[in-house]
Amino acid sequence: MKTELDSLATALYIKTDDLLKGSPQFGPWRPAVGIAPQLSDAELVTLAMTQAMLGFTSEARWLRHAHAHLRYLFPYLPKQPGYNKRLRKSADLVRHVIRILARDTTLWSDDVWGSRPAKWCMS
């Protein structure tokens, strides 16, 4: 389980980082001059999507879990208020990455789902 999570998080980070390098307009706005965030946007998206995939609904519990078990994947982990603030400001970016990942799967263009009624409708 651990190596699969590591591989998935790494692949997600690379995909997000490449997206942001190719299309920086999808990232949240930042002033040209100022302090760069310690957690990159790609790391933030990876952290948030890993949280969702592992089923953590509480940000505080997720960050405690990440501090205890995922420090080797994320060199810097913010405290809960900072994570919440960054995550809310990056909601459009997270939605965009999810949309791109969905388009990369075969389910995006699969017409089988729409052509057959669900089993519960057939009774």
| Structural contact between residues 27 and 41, judged by C-beta atoms closer than 8 angstroms | yes
Q: What is the pLDDT of residue 115?
A: 54
Q: What is the pLDDT of residue 123?
A: 46
pTM, whole model, 2 decimals?
0.79
Q: What is the pLDDT of residue 11?
A: 92
Task: Give residues with Cβ within 8 angstroms of 74, minimum separation 6.
Answer: 39, 43, 46, 47, 66
Pick out the chain residues at pLDDT < 50.
120-123
| Structural contact between residues 45 and 98, judged by C-beta atoms closer than 8 angstroms | no
Q: What is the pLDDT of residue 56?
A: 95
Closest CA to 45 of 58, 25, 27: 27
Q: What is the pLDDT of residue 50?
A: 94
Q: What is the pLDDT of residue 83?
A: 95
Cα angle: 33, vertex 77, 16; to 5 degrees: 70
The 10 Å Cβ neighbour count of residue 11 is: 11
Q: What is the pLDDT of residue 108?
A: 62
